[in-house]
Amino acid sequence: MATAEDSRTGGQEGTDDSPGWLDRVRATPAGRLTLRIVIGVIGTALVVTGLIMVPFPGPGWLVVFAGLAVLATEFPWASRLLEFAKDRVRAATDWLKRQNWFVRIVASALTLLCAAAIVWVSVRLTLGVDLVQKARELLS
């Protein structure tokens, strides 16, 4: 049965000290630079895409964190930023868990209200459609 170690070593069993493909790429200056550029482009694209998605319903922050995780494989600053962001999210989540049900409901309502306002403004500015007016027309 193939393991993760086998895939890194090219399937050679019993060669624990043989380098994986990333180590072989990093062994040359051109390989290191190419890898950093590719990781930088992919990670940055994920972070930017995630930030664009943040105001809309969906996995915006998840994509931002995924992009930071990709960047953190090559860049120490991204690793520090990812840890800082994870700590802030944990702190906010822990704080919200300690609150009573009323505070949780108010926080959820404010979050939904902000998301709805962002979607309304975005649709109005990009498509020229007023969703509130359309809803009123459908209801009357």
- pLDDT reported for residue 140: 85
Q: How far is it, in rounded angstroms, from Cα 104 to Cα 110? A: 10
pLDDT at 17: 66
Specify the 3-state DSSP secondary structure of 82. Answer: helix
Residue ranges of the domains in the chain? 1-98, 99-140
pLDDT at 15: 54
pLDDT at site 4? 44
Q: Between 29-53 and 60-72, two packed helices, what is the crossing angle to 10 degrees?
A: 170
DSSP state of 15: -
CA distances from 81 to 50, 52, 61, 86 (A): 16, 19, 14, 9
- Give me 12's structure tokens: 């050679």
Give long-range contacts, CB 8 A cutoff, 24+ apart: 53-62: 55/115, 55/118, 55/119, 55/122, 56/115, 56/118, 56/119, 56/122, 57/115, 57/119
Report the number of secondary-structure helices (H) and strands (E) in the chain: 7, 0
List per-residue pLDDT tens for the chain, 140 residues long.
444 444 444 555 545 667 788 788 888 888 889 999 999 999 999 999 998 888 777 788 899 999 999 999 999 999 999 999 999 989 999 999 999 999 999 999 998 898 888 888 888 888 888 888 888 888 88
Ranges assigned E (strand) in the chain? none
Residue type, 86: K
Q: Please state, in angstroms and rounded to a whole number, the distance separating the CA atoms of residues 63 and 46.
A: 6
Backbone torsions φ then ψ of 68, nearest 5 degrees = -65, -35
pLDDT score of 59: 87
